[in-house]
Amino acid sequence: MQFKNLLFLAAAGLIKGFIIPEGLANGAYTIEVDENGEDVLKPIEGFDGTATLSRRDPLPAGELGCTGNGIDYNDLAIAQNQLYNYCGAGAQMHDRRVVFAHGGAHAYVCNYGGPNSCADHEAQAAFSSLQGHCGNRNSPVGGWYWLKDWAKTYGYDSAGAEICGNM
């Protein structure tokens, strides 16, 4: 049992978060690793963030955390809608980290496993839980919802925050 714990701690140490840069232009981005091991933001080509979606399903138990960073509600709503539209009908996550930026707000999804998908109803449920846990609807605070069994995290935060490093 101790070996399992040591193995988990060693693996968790290999995962580094990504710091959201100040002044990130509005849009949707993947976060990739270049040949030097550095994180690189790449815009998602042809992404239309204007569609609307509705379905909600409950999430399995997960871990929530708040960063304490204040976020503009209107910017956050737009960034979240971009994520919902991208994840739409269970989009496959070919990249391990995807971030959606609008103004100073950033919504994101992290994939800690192999082939995985994101879904709008999962993100909506996760963000709804965060809203009740981290700040409130009118005054949101950055946070994340880690779905350990599904090897992914949904979250939102402001520029300068570290994302996808909460394992």
Structure-token pair, residue 151: 């090897």
Inter-CA distances, 90 with 35, 113, 119, 120, 159, Å: 29, 16, 4, 7, 27
The pLDDT value given to residue 21:
80
What distance lies between CA 45 and its chain's CA centroid?
19
Distance CA 116, CA 96 (A): 9
Distance CA 75, CA 156 (A): 11
Q: Which residue has the tokens 């009908």?
A: 89
The whole domain housing 90 covers 2-163
Q: Please compute Rg for the chain using Cα positions.
A: 15
Is residue 6 predicted with pLDDT exceeding 50? no
Q: If residue 63 lies in a helix (H) or strand (E), which one and from where to where?
A: strand 63-70
- Could you tell me which residue, 47 or 107, shows the higher pLDDT? 107
Domains in the chain: how many in total? 1
Q: What does the pLDDT look like over 33-44, one tens digit per residue?
A: 888 888 887 777
User: Partners of 28 in the beta sheet?
Assistant: 100
Nearest to 80 by CA among 54, 96, 57, 99: 99
Number of alpha carbons in the 13 Å side-chain half-sphere of residue 161: 25
The pLDDT value given to residue 15:
54
0.85 exceeded by pTM: no
Q: What does the pLDDT look like over 115-161, one tens digit per residue?
A: 888 899 999 999 999 998 998 888 899 999 999 888 999 999 999 99
**Backbone φ, ψ for residue 114 (5° rounding):** -80, -135
Q: Is residue 80 classed as helix, strand or coil in its secondary structure?
A: helix
Q: What does the pLDDT look like over 70-102, one tens digit per residue?
A: 999 999 999 999 999 989 867 887 768 899 999
* Polymer length in residues for the chain: 167
Distance CA 87, CA 117 (A): 8
